[in-house]
Amino acid sequence: MAVPPAVAIRALTAPSPDLQGLVLGPLAGGAGLDRLVRSPHLQKTGLALAGFHEYLRAGRILILGESEVQFLASRSASERLAIAERLATADLPAIVVTAGLTPAAELLAACERTGLPVLGTETPTGTAMARLNARLDLLLAERVLMHGVLVDLLGLGVLILGESGIGKSECALELVSRGHRLVADDVVELRRRAESFVEGTGPEATRFFMEVRGLGLIDVQAIYGVSAVCPTKTVGLVVQLERWDRGHDHERLGLDDHWHDVAGVRVPLVRMPVGPGRSVATLVEVAARNELLKAQGYHGARALADRLDAARPGEPR
């Protein structure tokens, strides 16, 4: 289930480790803090203040640094008022004023009237833009909710999928008891970052809780400690649990690579049949170790196939 990426400006005023110390406080337009921003790209264009309106991009946060604030201060009162009205009525989610600067009173008054949030920070312009852009990039990343379990196995994020009741949570619980870490159970929130990887986490309200049939809901962090959980992890392997079917030709050699689409990113896939006498947790752990070896350039199945080819009768041994 895809969730359209959007975030309220109010979320940027809340403390977050992603902001790396960047503090944004409202200077005006507090009534508009629920305005939504849908683009992670910022704009800092003095040309728009000088009358070149086409350089003002709708839907993007506008940054006012020292040059923009000084430009406004140097204009006449009537010019400042005209520029302020133009900005206050533009399709902007917010204006951010950096380096502890105080913008023109006309701009603050106009934005207060139209409900356009003006946020201030003491952080220098370049640093503020970098940290704010990183925060928006995270918040506005493509987000998908999936039914499954995400665990951290030896540094590899393994997303375990399968039909309800097949044993995903029990498998994850056994892995946690072996020293691995739980990221999310039941609902996994996946965010696409850049073009090549997806990060997974659990919904904040139910994070690190697990439903185990016969036990009910358990708090994994409270039972096993903080070392047994991980807040977020990049997905590096998908394990699809399937009912054992004697009539189905399950993978025997492992020579071919398979892939699963996760939020538009191809992730290695292993289909794991579940049946009596099979330790699913052990098999998932081995699948993770095998994938780590592949990432280092060693493909065990292909190495054996090459060895057998080289040892055929009539060929040098």
Catalytic residue ranges: 147, 168, 186, 252
Bridging pattern class, strands 62-64 and 181-193 = unpaired
d(C-alpha 44, C-alpha 17), whole Å: 24
- Residue 171, helix vs strand vs coil: helix
SS3 of 22-37: CCCEEEECHHHCCCEE
Q: Which residue has the tokens 């379990």?
A: 149
**Cβ-proximal residues to 189 (8 Å cutoff; 6+ apart), any chain:** 143, 144, 145, 200, 201, 202, 203
Q: How many helices (H) and strands (E) does the chain have?
A: 9, 16
Residue 268's H or E segment, with its range, is strand 265-274
From 272, 286, 19, select the one nearest 168 (Cα to Cα).
Answer: 272
- Residue 84, helix vs strand vs coil: helix
From 304, 4, 270, 36, select the one nearest 156 (Cα to Cα).
Answer: 270
Cβ pair 265, 198 in contact under 8 A: yes
Distance of CA 174 to the CA centre of its chain: 27
Q: Helices 105-114 & 77-88, crossing angle to 10 degrees?
A: 30
In degrees and rounded to multiples of 5, residue 256 shows phi and psi of -95, 140
